[in-house]
Structure 1
Amino acid sequence: MAHEAIVQRYSSLARAALSGQTIIDCQADAFAQGNFGSAGYDHASELPEEALRASLGCGNPIAVAELRAGETVVDLGSGGGLDVLLSARRVGPYGKAYGVDASPDMLRLAQANAARAGATNVEFLHGTIEELPLPDASADVIVSNCVVNLSSDKPAVFAEAFRVLKPGGRLGISDVVAEDDADPAQRTAAAQRVGCTAGVLAVGEYRDLLLDCGFLGGALTLAADHGGGVHSAIVQATKPASSPGITIRPMRATDATQVLAIYQAGLDTGNASFETTAPTWENFDHGKLQRLRYVAVDFDTGRVVGWVAASPVSSRPVYAGVVEHSVYVDPACQGRGIGRDLLNTLVSASEAAGIWTIQTGIFPENGPSLLLHQACGFRVVGTRQHIGQHHGRWRDVLFMERRSARV
């Protein structure tokens, strides 16, 4: 269904709610059996009846968002405002809850419900979830309730969520997903029955999309079963935490020049690697795993100030969960915790990707790198004595690894 048609559909539902009707967005049997609407909430009775009647969700993301006093929350596709009002109560008078919706009628409905509830720390914004009307790094938490499945451009939705979240920010949404092995025809029929106009993602597709957009710890918990391998689900993920003024995000091809310059600066120290010249971007790109490469970016200037990337150690299947990595920080930015941020991000992302061992080789003279890796859970497992010549002298290499306790 086209974006305009979706807006028209929900605008008509909003007008019905404004006239006092209880509205539903799926077939009656699915609504009754699938925990849709206000049935998904345990503690919403204090809110206006009008807000409860207009609920179109498929779960309760607020229950898992772990909202804290003073936080800023954004609800993607806020509809009649129920989740915004619940969030506003959780974050208290010094917090703020925003709702974003593409339907002017839904905004009118939500504003009316906020007025009835006496909520003063809420604001409803007109916009799409693919292009949020909010600045970078402005939210602590993003929630959404059965809206992402309506979008025909889900990568844009999560890219925008990543942009708007602060470092360490949390994503907690209810959505509809499919089992990875669900029959395509049954999956489509079930999705249509519960109102998913743009189709549902399979669990594996959902996790991959979150990882591609930069989120860590993508966890999907299946809830109500709608038949045909389709379920309501709670989706939780986080934006990588980072030092003040720094954002960690996936590496892009447009970062090539800055990444290779930082690489070369590290090699010029004489203690980073046996290599003396940074590779071409083509060779760098070919040798690194696509989903395990990140950059640290200065928030004010957009300049890349560090990077981390992993490579497979072998093509043999037995080593599928083993990688080696490199981490480099701009010499002008060292001592700010950027290397730790990058390495912790790689560890979390690698575990989500099923990696059980990360390994690396470090010159014994590179004390800062040894301390960094030990702080991030790596241990020395051996010394490769006189393994190679570097600038005319034989060098030892300490072999370090980190074993996952989760994978």
Structure 2
Amino acid sequence: MAHDEVVDGYSSLARAASDGESVIDCGSGAFADGCFGTAGYDDTAELPDGALRASLGCGNPVAVAELRAGESVLDLGSGGGIDVLLSARRVGPYGKAYGLDASPDMVQLARRNAEEAGASNTEFLHGTIEAIPLPDHAVDVVISNCVINLSDDKAAALAEAFRVLRPGGRLGLSDVVADGVIDPQRRAAAEQRVGCVAGSLTIDAYRDLLRKAGFVGIAITLTADHGDGVHSAIIQAVKPAISPGLVIRPMRESDASQVLAIYQAGLDTGQASFETVAPSWEGFTAGKLPGLRYVAADTETGEVVGWIAASPVSARPAYAGVVEHSIYVHSGCQAHGIGRALLAAFIAGSEDAGIWTIQSGIFPENAASLSLHQSLGFRVVGTRERVGRHHGIWRDVLMLERRSTAVGR
């Protein structure tokens, strides 16, 4: 179904709710049995009837997001505003709850509901979830209730959610997912029953899009079973935390010159690697895993101030969950916690990718790197004595590894 058809359909539901009707966007059986609408909530007292009538979600993302007083939250596809109003209660008078919807009728309905509820800390925006009309790093939490599945560009929607979150911000979604490859006709029938007009993602595809957007700490928990491999689910993820003025995001090709310059500056210290000359970008990318590359960048200028990336240790299947990583921070930005933030994000991202062991080799003289790694769970497992010559001097290398407590157990 095209975007305009989705908007028109939900606009008609908004008008029906405004006229006092209770509305559903899927089969009545699925709606009754699948915790759709207000069935997933336990705290709807004193909410306007208009918000309850227009509740079309498949869960309770407000509870999933664990909102705290003073936070700002954005609801993607806010409909009649039930999740925004519940969020406004939780974040309190010093917080802010935004709602975004592509249907002008839904936005109008939600604004009336907020006025009736006396919710002065709310704001409803008209726009699409694929192009959110808010600046970068605008909110602490992004929620959504059975809306991402409606998008015909889910990658863009999740990338936009990442963009508007502040570093350390949280994503808490209720959505519909498929648990694997199933018969297309049966899956389409199940999706029709639950109103999944643009098609549900498989769990693996959802994880992949979240990782590509830059999220870490990804958890997908199945809730209601709608048959034929289609489920309601809770999706949680985090934007990597780092100090104000910086952001950790996936490495891009446009970062090439800055990444290689930082690499070369690190090599020039004589304490980072046996290598003395940074490779070409083609050589760099050929040796690194595409899904485990991050940069720390200035939010104002976009300048890259540090990076981390991983290489496979072997092509043998037995070592599929073992990688070796490299981390470099701009010489003018060290001792500011950037390396720690990058390494913490990398560890979380590696566990999302199913990595159970991260390895690294560090010169014994590189005390700062050794301390950083040990503070985040790496341990020295041995010393390779006089393993190679560097500028004419034989050097030892300490071998470190970090074993995941979440993967491979």
- Measured against the shorter chain, the TM-score band is over 0.9
Deviations 1:42-96 (A, max 9, x none): 1112211221111000111111111000000000000000000000000000000
- For 2:251 and 2:80, locate their aligned partners in 1 and report how far apart those are by CA, in whole Å: 38
Shift of 1:193: 1.4
- For 1:102 and 1:317, locate their aligned partners in 2 and report how far apart those are by CA, in whole Å: 46
User: Which aligned pairs between 1:235-314 and structure 2 lie closer than 5 A?
Assistant: 235-314=235-314
CA RMSD of aligned residues (A): 0.7
- For 2:357 and 2:234, locate their aligned partners in 1 and report how far apart those are by CA, in whole Å: 29
Query: Would you say how many aligned residue pairs link Structure 1 and Structure 2?
Result: 407
Shift of 1:244: 2.1
Deviations 1:3-28 (A, max 9, x none): 11111111111111111111100011
- Alignment correspondent of 1:375: 375
- Whether 2:118 is the aligned partner of 1:118: answer yes
- What is the TM-score with the length of structure 1 in the denominator? 0.99
- For 1:335 and 1:242, locate their aligned partners in 2 and report how far apart those are by CA, in whole Å: 13
Deviations 1:92-114 (A, max 9, x none): 00000000011110011001110
Deviations 1:329-386 (A, max 9, x none): 0001111100001111110011111111100101111111111111111111111111
- What is the TM-score with the length of structure 2 in the denominator? 0.99
- For 1:289 and 1:192, locate their aligned partners in 2 and report how far apart those are by CA, in whole Å: 38
- Alignment correspondent of 1:392: 392
Letter of the aligned partner of 1:104 in structure 2?
P
- For 1:26 and 1:319, locate their aligned partners in 2 and report how far apart those are by CA, in whole Å: 46
Letter of the aligned partner of 1:19 in structure 2?
D
Residues 328 and 339 in structure 1, CA contact (< 8 A), matched pair in contact too: yes
Deviations 1:169-214 (A, max 9, x none): 0000100000114333211110111111100000111111111111
- Whether 2:319 is the aligned partner of 1:319: answer yes
- For 2:19 and 2:110, locate their aligned partners in 1 and report how far apart those are by CA, in whole Å: 13
User: Which aligned pairs between 1:149-168 and structure 2 lie closer than 5 A?
Assistant: 149-168=149-168
Runs of 4+ more than 3 Å apart: none
SS of alignment partner, residue 17 of structure 2: helix
Q: Which runs of 5+ in 2 are unaligned?
A: none
- For 1:181 and 1:5, locate their aligned partners in 2 and report how far apart those are by CA, in whole Å: 27
- For 1:362 and 1:138, locate their aligned partners in 2 and report how far apart those are by CA, in whole Å: 39
- Alignment correspondent of 1:105: 105
User: Which aligned pairs between 1:52-71 and structure 2 lie closer than 5 A?
Assistant: 52-71=52-71
SS of alignment partner, residue 155 of structure 2: helix
Letter of the aligned partner of 1:113 in structure 2?
N
- For 2:305 and 2:184, locate their aligned partners in 1 and report how far apart those are by CA, in whole Å: 45
SS of alignment partner, residue 68 of structure 1: coil
- Alignment correspondent of 2:88: 88
- For 2:353 and 2:91, locate their aligned partners in 1 and report how far apart those are by CA, in whole Å: 33
- Alignment correspondent of 1:144: 144
- For 1:221 and 1:44, locate their aligned partners in 2 and report how far apart those are by CA, in whole Å: 24
Letter of the aligned partner of 1:68 in structure 2?
R
Which deviates the most, 178-187 or 228-237?
A: 178-187
- For 1:31 and 1:405, locate their aligned partners in 2 and report how far apart those are by CA, in whole Å: 39
**Percent identity over the alignment?**
70
User: Which aligned pairs between 1:202-213 and structure 2 lie closer than 5 A?
Assistant: 202-213=202-213
Residues 79 and 101 in structure 1, CA contact (< 8 A), matched pair in contact too: yes
- For 2:276 and 2:353, locate their aligned partners in 1 and report how far apart those are by CA, in whole Å: 31
SS of alignment partner, residue 65 of structure 2: coil
- Alignment correspondent of 1:20: 20
User: Which aligned pairs between 1:11-50 and structure 2 lie closer than 5 A?
Assistant: 11-50=11-50
SS of alignment partner, residue 64 of structure 1: helix
- For 2:207 and 2:180, locate their aligned partners in 1 and report how far apart those are by CA, in whole Å: 11
Shift of 1:245: 1.4
SS of alignment partner, residue 130 of structure 2: coil
Residues 141 and 172 in structure 1, CA contact (< 8 A), matched pair in contact too: yes
- For 1:165 and 1:228, locate their aligned partners in 2 and report how far apart those are by CA, in whole Å: 34
SS of alignment partner, residue 219 of structure 2: strand
Letter of the aligned partner of 2:163 in structure 1?
R
Deviations 1:213-263 (A, max 9, x none): 110111111111111110011100000011221100000111111100000
Residues 387 and 397 in structure 1, CA contact (< 8 A), matched pair in contact too: yes
- For 1:61 and 1:75, locate their aligned partners in 2 and report how far apart those are by CA, in whole Å: 9
Letter of the aligned partner of 2:144 in structure 1?
S
Residues 309 and 327 in structure 1, CA contact (< 8 A), matched pair in contact too: yes
Residues 80 and 110 in structure 1, CA contact (< 8 A), matched pair in contact too: yes
- For 1:54 and 1:317, locate their aligned partners in 2 and report how far apart those are by CA, in whole Å: 51
- For 2:54 and 2:185, locate their aligned partners in 1 and report how far apart those are by CA, in whole Å: 31
Residues 183 and 229 in structure 1, CA contact (< 8 A), matched pair in contact too: no
- For 2:129 and 2:181, locate their aligned partners in 1 and report how far apart those are by CA, in whole Å: 29
- For 1:378 and 1:7, locate their aligned partners in 2 and report how far apart those are by CA, in whole Å: 51
Residues 385 and 396 in structure 1, CA contact (< 8 A), matched pair in contact too: yes
- For 1:183 and 1:295, locate their aligned partners in 2 and report how far apart those are by CA, in whole Å: 40
